[in-house]
Structure 1
Amino acid sequence: MTHCVDVLVPGPWWNALTYASKRPLPVGARVRVPLGRGERLGFVAENVSSSSAPHPLREVGELLDEGNVLGEELWDLVRWMGRNFLCGRGLALQALCPKPLLRGEPVESKEGSFLSEGALEKGDAFSERTFFSPWDEDRRDFYQTQALREGRSLLLFPESALARSFFNALPADLKSQAVLWPSTGGKKLWEVWQRTRKGDFRVVVSPPGGVFAPAFFDRIIVEDEANPGYLPQRAPRISARTLAGRRAMVLGAELILGGRMPSAKTFLRSAFTSPRDSPERSSLIFVDMRRSVKPEFPGIEGELPLTISLLERTRATLKAGREVFWILDRRGEAGEVACADCGQSLLCPRCGSILRSENKGSGLRCVRCGSRHSLPSLCPSCRGAFLVGRRPGLEALASAAGRFLRGYSVRLSSEEGKINPFHKAKNSKESFLILGTRRLLALCDVQDVGLVAWLDLDAELRRLEHGARFQVFSMVWESYWRGRKKGSAEERSVLIQTRWMAGCWQNIFQQGWERFWRDELRMRKSLNIPPFAHWVQIDLAKDEEREALLDCLEHAGLFVMDPGPGGPLWLTLEPKNVALLRSLLEPRFQIKCSRLGFPVITLWTE
C-alpha cells in the first residue's frame, strides 16, 4: 500500500510538498526528497491520506532519523514561528537548525537525550518574574543565584561579549556544569548543539542564538530584555526574547526578564514602582549645538558641530586620566555620496540602498548589506564628473578631533563593532578619546569612562520609526549606568549635543524609565502603533505584483499604505488579523513561485 507524506523543505516557501512513501514516517524526521532535477533535505510534516494527494507522486528518498530529530517542543516552536512571524515553517527551520543538521549529518538516537524526558507535560507550571536594576553587578549576582538552583537554566544575553563575561565569572563548580553557546556556526556550534541535546550541560549561557538550544529548561533568563540585539536587523525579524517567552510557556518553565529597564510589553503587563536609582542631575548635560565650532570637511557637504562645552569637558576628563567616548551613528568618511549636478545619491547595485564613502573617500560600502564597491569616476545617472560626500561620518570626525585636541590620543573603534579594548601600559596615565557608533558602549564594561558624548542624538529622533524615542532614552540610560561599580566615587557624565532636546527630556531622564514608558505608551496607544497594533512591511520581489496584492488586501478589509512604485507596502494590523493576512499571502509563497521571487515580510510588534 502506498502512503503519502507532507515534507517541509527549509527555504522561503510556506507550503509542504507531498511525496509517496512505502510506510508512514515519523513526524519531524529528516528525509531526502527529489526536487526539480536535484535532491533536497526536508522534514516530515505529517502523514496524509493518499486519496487527497495529487497523482502521480515522486517517492521519498532516504530516511535519516528514527524519530523527531528536534523533539516535540522545538517542533512546536517551528510551527509557532511560521504562523506568528509570517515567515513560514521553511524559514523557521533555517533559523532554528544548525547547518550540519540541514546537510543531513547523523544525529544520535533519542535514547539518553533530552527527547526522552517527556516533552510538554509541565506546560501549566509557567511563571514569570522580573529583576530590573541599573547596576550590572546586582543583576549578575541575581542571575548566578538563579543558575545555582536545581534544574536546567538557559541564560540569554544580547551580546556575545556579555555572555562570555558572565560565563567566565561563574563559580568553578557551576562552570563545570555549564557551556558557553558559540556565537557563530561551524564545528564548535554543532558539537555544543549535540552535547546539549544529550543532556551534558545543566546551564547554557548564550547570545541570542542559544534560544534554540535543544534542552528542556526549568528556567529561562533574558538579560537586558529590552535590548534590540535580540531582534535581527533583516527579515524575518524573529525576536529571540519572544521565542524565550514562548519556550518557557510551553515547557512550564520560570521566565525571568531583567535589565536596566523593561521593554514596552513587559512594562504593560507588570506592576512597577519608580526605580530607586536615577542619574545625578549634574551628570546629564544638554548642550545647545548652536554654540559650537563647525569644522570644515573638504569634499563633504553638511555640518557636524562640536560645542565648546564638549571640547572643554573632553580635555578635562582626558587630563584626569579617564577615557572619553564620542558617539556618532554614522560610519565611514561620509554618510552618502551624491552627484553635484543631478543630486542623485549613489545606490548599491545589490540591494538598492545608499552607499557611504570610507577609507578617505577611496571606496564605497552599502549601509544595508555591507557590500563594498569602488568609487565611480562618473555619476551613473547623469554622467556628471563631480561627486561629493554628504553628512560627515566617523572617519571625517577623527581628523577634526585630532585638530581640535592636539596632544591627546584619538582612536577610531572597529568598523564591524568588534571593539578591542585600548589597553594602557602598566602605570601609564595616558587616556584616549575613542570615536565610534553606539556599539562603543560595550567598552564601558572594561574601561574607566568618565564622559560619554552623543554628538547628534537629534538624528535618532528624526528617524521615521515608532521606536525612535525609546532608542534615545535607552541609549542615554545605558551610557550613564553601563560598567559603573556600585559604591564607586567615580562619577560619569553624559553629554548630549542638541538643538531642541533639553527641558522635558532632562526631567524624563531624572525621573527614570517609569515616567518615560507612561508618556510613551500613552502616545503610542493614541496612534494605534506597536505594541497596541502590529506593523507589517511587505517588500515586493517584482513591482508589477503591487496592484494585484493591493486589491487582495483591501478587498479583505485591511488598510494598506502604499508609498508608490519601488517602495514597500505598509499595514497596521490588529493581532487578531495576523491569521487573515497569512492566508492572503500564502499563495505567493508556494514553491512553484520560486522563479518569480518572494515578497519579504517584516513584522513589528513593539
Structure 2
Amino acid sequence: MPREREAPPTLNRAQQAASLSLEEAAGAYAPFLLDGITGSGKTEVYLDCACRTIARGRQALVLVPEIALTPQLIARFEGRLGSALAVLHSGLTDTERHRAWWRAREGSAAVVLGTRSAVFAPLARPGVIIVDEEHDLSYKQREGFRYQARDIAVKRAQLADIPVVLGSATPSLESMANAANGRYRHLKLESRAGSAKLPKVEILDLNRLALNDGLSAPVVGALKECLLRGEQSLVFVNRRGFAPVIVCTDCGWQALCPRCDARQTLHRASGRAICHHCGRQAPAPSTCPQCQKETLFPAGEGTQRVEEALVRIFPEAAVMRIDSDALGAPDEMARALQAVRDRKVDILVGTQMLSKGHDFAGVTLVCVLAADQGLYSLDFRGSERLFQQLSQVSGRAGRRETRGAVLIQTAHPEDPAFARLREHNFAGFAKEALVERQTAGYPPYVRFALMRAESTQSGAAIRFLQSAALAGEDLASRSAVEIMTPVPSPMERRAGRFRAQLLVRSKDERRFHRFLEDWVQGIEASRTAARVRWSLDVDPQEMY
C-alpha cells in the first residue's frame, strides 16, 4: 500500500547546483562525480535526482556497497517516494530476488536499490544510475566472474544514453583522475548540510603514550567526558577477535595456522583460535605446545578485547560491539544500528562495517585505536585506502548541531597523510598521490592485469606463471606490454594452497586488451593450464 510521502528538505546552494546539473543532463549520457564531504547531504541529491527521474516516467538504479547500508537507504527512499522499492542483494531468498528482478524488468519498481550484482538488473525504462560510496572495494567482484560494478554502471549508462552519478566523500583516485581530465563532470559539496561542522581531528602520538588494552589516557578521558554529556561515541578497531597473536613469553612460540602463512586470532568468548584467512578453528591452547609452560599471552587488540576493557572501565555505560562475529544476518545488523539511532547505546565498538554511510545523530566522538595498518602496506593503494577509511569513520562524528571530535592513535604522527586528514583535505592528498602514481607508472595512468595461480604442490604455481610469461614474451614486445617476473604471493600459502602472481601492464589500453585476449587463449590451450588453478584479474583492486 502506498505510504504518505515525506516532504523534502530545502536543499542548500551547493546541493541545488548539483541537482540542477543532473536535471540538465537528463536524457543523455553524462558521467558525474559527486564529491561531497561526509555529512554534506549527498543522499538528498540522490533523492532529488531519483524523484525528478521518476516524474519523467523513468527508473532509477541505486547501488550501495554493502547490505548493511540498504535498510537506511530503503527507509529514506520509501519515505520520500511513498512507495516500495525493488531491493536486490545476496541476503534475499531466491523468491524475493526473483520478484525484485521481475518488478525491475516490467517497470513497476520506480527505484531499484541493491548491492554490487544489482548493476545487472534489467530496467524497462532506465533514467539514471547512482553509485553511492563509489570508491568502496566491495564493488569489485574478486572471485569467479570478476567485474567492477562501478565501471559497469558507467558503461551501462553510456549504452542506455542516461546520466550516471558516482558519489563519495573520498572518491577513488581513478574517478578523481577522470574528473581532472574532463571525462567526468565534477560536482562538489564542500560543507556539511544544515549547521553541522566538520569534526576537530587530533593525532595522538603513541611514542609518548602508554596503552592499556589498546586505549590511551586521552581516549579514555574523552570517552568519559562524552558519557557525562549524554552523547554517544564510536571506537574504531579494524580487527576482529580478542587478540591477533597468541605468543609464549618464555620460548617465543606463536599460534600459526597450519594451512596458511598467518597467525591465528584468539576469540576468547568462544575459546577458539581462528584463522581469519581460511577459517580454520581449533580450541585455544592454555599451555604452550612447545615448552609446556603456562606462559601464553594474547598480544594486540581486537574488537572483543576493547569491548571488554570499555565495559570494565565504564560499567554504567551501554557498550555494543558491531563486527561480523557479533552480527550475522542483515536483520541483526539493522536492529543494532537502530538501537544506536534510538540512543540505547553509549559506546559503539566496531570494524570497517561502521566506517561508511551511516548517519548517527548522537555520535559526537570517534576514536581510532590502530591507524597505522595501511601506512606501509604491500599494496600501492594502501595509503589511499587508509585515508579513505579514516576520513569515512571520522565523518560519523558531529553530524548535527554539536561539533564532533576525532582522536586518532598512531606511532607515525609525522606521516603527511595525517596532516591532510587533520585539515579534512582529501583533494590535496589525492592530488599528491596522483602525481606519485603517474611518476611511478601506476594506475590510473597505466593499466594493470594480475595473473594469479595456486596449487597444492609447492612450486607448481610459480612454474606455471614462468611458462605463461615466456609464452607471451614475443606478443608483449609487439604490443607495448610489459610482463613482470612471476613472484610468490605476499601470503604464499593460504588454505593449504601455494600461490604466486604475475603482473602485466601497459599504457596503451586497446593494445593491452588485444594482448590479454590472445595471450589467455594461448595459455588455455597449453597442457600446464590444467595442472593449477589460475585466473586473470584486469584492473586488480588488491595486489596480493
TM bucket, shorter chain: 0.7 to 0.9
Q: Is the 8 A contact 1:336 1:345 kept in 2?
A: yes
Q: Is the 8 A contact 1:444 1:483 kept in 2?
A: no
Which amino acid in the other structure matches residue 428 of structure 2? R
* Offset at residue 530 of structure 1 (A): 2.4
Q: Paired residue for 2:389?
A: 475
Alignment of 1:573 onto 2:505: yes
1:562 alignment counterpart: 487
CA displacement at 1:277 relative to structure 2: 3.1
Q: Supply the AA of the counterpart residue of 1:294.
A: L
- What are the residue-to-residue correspondences of 1:12-161 with 2, within 5 Å? 125-134=28-37, 136=39, 138-148=41-51, 149=53, 150=56, 151-161=58-68
Query: Any residues of structure 2 matched to 1:194-593 within 5 Å, and which?
Result: 194-215=102-123, 217-232=126-141, 234=143, 237-271=146-180, 276-277=190-191, 283-295=200-212, 305-337=214-246, 341=251, 343=253, 345-347=255-257, 349=259, 354-360=263-269, 362-375=271-284, 389-416=298-325, 419=333, 420-421=336-337, 423=339, 432-441=346-355, 444-446=358-360, 448-482=362-396, 485=399, 488-502=400-414, 504-509=416-421, 510=423, 512-533=425-446, 534-541=448-455, 542=457, 543-554=459-470, 556-557=472-473, 558-563=483-488, 566-574=498-506, 575=509, 576-586=511-521, 589=524
- In structure 1, distance between residues paired with 2:404 and 2:146: 35
> Which deviations, in whole Å up to 9, do the C-alpha atoms of 1:530-579 show, x marking residues without a partner?
22231515132353253243133145331224138744223141244344
Task: Give the superposition deviation at 1:422.
Answer: 7.1
Distance 2:64 2:264 in 1: 32
Task: Return the letter of the residue paired with 2:385.
Answer: Q
Contact 1:364 1:374 (C-alpha < 8 Å) held by counterparts: yes
Higher relative contact order (CA 8 A, sep 6+): 2
Larger Rg: 1
Q: Secondary structure at the match of 2:171?
A: coil
| Alpha-carbon distance change, 444 to 546 in structure 1, aligned in 2, over 3 angstroms | closer
Provide the C-alpha distance between the structure 2 equivalents of 1:314 and 1:537, rounded to a whole number of angstroms.
47
| Aligned residue identity for 2:413 | M
Counterpart residue number, 2:480: none
TM-score, normalised to structure 1, is 0.68
Q: Counterparts of 1:596 and 1:328 in 2: how far apart (Å)?
A: 41
- Where do 5+ consecutive residues of structure 1 fail to align? 1-123, 296-303
Match of 1:464, as an amino acid? L
- Kindly state the Cα deviation for residue 496 of structure 1 after the two structures are TM-superposed: 0.5
Residue identity (%) = 19
Q: What is the distance in 2 between the residues matched to 1:391 and 1:503?
A: 22
List gaps (5 residues or longer) in structure 2.
1-26, 181-185, 474-482, 493-497
Amino acid at match of 2:462: R
| Residue correspondences, number | 469
**Per-residue deviation, residues 389-435 of structure 1 (Å, max 9, x unmatched):** 44332222223333444543433224345541373898x8x752222
What is the CA RMSD across the aligned residues, in angstroms? Answer: 3.6
Secondary structure in 1 aligned to 2:320?
strand
Contact 1:324 1:432 in 2 (8 A): yes
- What CA distance in whole angstroms lies between the structure 2 residues aligned with 1:580 and 1:443? 40
TM-score of the pair, normalised by structure 2? 0.75
Deviation digits for residues 112-150 of structure 1, max 9, x if unmatched?
Answer: xxxxxxxxxxxx952212322225462222212221222
Say whether the 8 Å CA contact 1:333–1:361 is kept in structure 2.
no
